[in-house]
A and B are shown apart, each in its own frame.
Chain A
Amino acid sequence: MNLKDNSFYRADLILHGIDPSGISYEGRIFFNHPDANPDTPTTLENGYAGSFSIFGHGGCYGNVGHCTPRTGMRSFDKRPKSPVESRDIPVIVTDALKQVLLNSQELEVTIVPIVRPENADFIKQIQPDVDTEHCLKFDKFEIALYDAPQSSA
């Protein structure tokens, strides 16, 4: 990704289509630090940009297909949505992005999912089929840049 302008007021990294059906975790975002891992300090110097939490559904207790989001919803279908509909999550990354742009025009995004071992153990006890290692699933992300709010005259 090439960025030529550092004059934005705010920058959001928006993750689209995050799957909340599994284990709960924290997702830490790093810029230009492809080797970031759970032990990487969460500082600007390490490219840490922000984090998000996923409060996970913890697997499905229904029959096959119970938690699968319905597609092709009819306009007159007033039933509630599935509790595991994918969601979009914005994370404010202004400081980290400006830091990157001081030295580079290239941006590499690394997201590190953090699952506490005690919670992984707990989920394995109650829902053995839940994947506790590959929990981060999303469709795409975008970076949105915003100008400063206009002050009134």
Chain B
Amino acid sequence: MSNGKVIRKNVEGLSEEELGLLRQAYTTLQQFDPRDGLEDRSYQTIAGYHGVPRGYCHRDRELFLPWHRAYVHFLEQYVLDTYPSDLELKPGIPWWDWTSDLAHQPVASGGGIPNRFRAEDNPPNPLAQFFIDRPAFGMQRNTIRTLGVPNELPTTAGVAQLLEITDFLEFSLRLEQTPFHDSIHVWVGGHMGVVDWAAYDPIFFSHHCMVDRIWYLWQLRHGAETVPSRLLNRQLLGFDMAVADVLEIGDLGYEYAVNQMVVRNES
């Protein structure tokens, strides 16, 4: 039996079955009528936490990592709700590894954003775009991406240097800025390139899953208790959680993996 935890994988490593579950989950959430925000299961409602209209995205730079960890976890709960109840191994939000060799290949060779986030016609790919219906803000259209050049993406060497930083706040600042988090938003461009609209693009959550994974790798090396104590009780806007509640990913019910298997006792 699995330990009940959700497994977050590289999006390229999802099996066809896992990808199917994820796509169905996003389709379900995207099809909910938001009902002016009343419908909490609506992807539009959830995406609206970040910028327009709720603007919860961390107002304090020091909360960048814990707030987004809570946010990805939040969406993940709604994704899990859509899975069959007897599903033994549950795929979580997958990460987009923008440092991989594949990501740095020319687009024609599969580089840039993963193919699994690209548009398909029949059926439409819910990971490729989302139709934003916010007439009050002049926004009634599909999300778009303008996309930069693949070899501008960050590298594994850059992440390795990040992981050497010992101070949590400096690590957080460096991970947030160039050439990582902020640069990826600018690189994807379009709605992802604007704070107010970024979370409406489904790739947002897999981008932040990668950011969260890097934080997790840093925690393995430097410890989860390295966040300054003055931040521990700070509430994370929009979620019924404080910083202290999101330091251990195990407490949030997920793990990062490259693969998983269930071994049954046949004896």
Contact = CB atoms under 8 A, between A and B. Distances in A.
A123 interface: yes
A85 B179 CA distance: 21
B190 A54 contact: no
Contact of A83 (B178, B195, B197): B195
B196 interface: yes
Interface in A48-65: 51-59, 61
Name the prevailing secondary structure of the B interface residues: loop
Nearest to B180: A53
Nearest to B193: A24
Interface centre among A83, A90, A123 (most CB of B within 10 A): A83
Nearest to A66: B55
Interface in B55-100: 55, 57, 59-61
B190 A119 contact: yes
A116 B146 contact: yes
Contacts of A24: 185-186, 189, 193-194
Nearest to A92: B174
A116 B183 CA distance: 13
Interface string A9-23: 000000000001000
B138 interface: yes
A118 B192 CA distance: 13
Nearest to A61: B137
A125 to B, nearest CB: 9
Interface string A55-85: 1111101000000000000000000111101
A91 interface: yes
B148 interface: yes
A81 B194 contact: no
B190 A58 contact: no
Given A24-B189, A52-B177, 19 more contacts: A55-B182, A55-B185, A55-B186, A55-B195, A57-B195, A58-B194, A58-B195, A81-B60, A82-B59, A83-B51, A83-B55, A83-B195, A91-B178, A118-B146, A119-B146, A122-B146, A122-B193, A126-B139, A126-B194
Ranked 5 nearest A-B pairs via Cβ: A58-B194, A118-B146, A80-B59, A55-B182, A53-B183
23 contacts: A24-B194, A25-B186, A26-B178, A52-B182, A53-B177, A53-B178, A54-B186, A55-B181, A57-B194, A57-B195, A58-B193, A58-B196, A61-B53, A80-B59, A81-B60, A83-B59, A83-B195, A116-B146, A118-B146, A118-B189, A119-B193, A122-B189, A126-B138
Interface of A: 20, 24-26, 51-59, 61, 80-83, 85, 87, 89-91, 116, 118-119, 122-123, 126
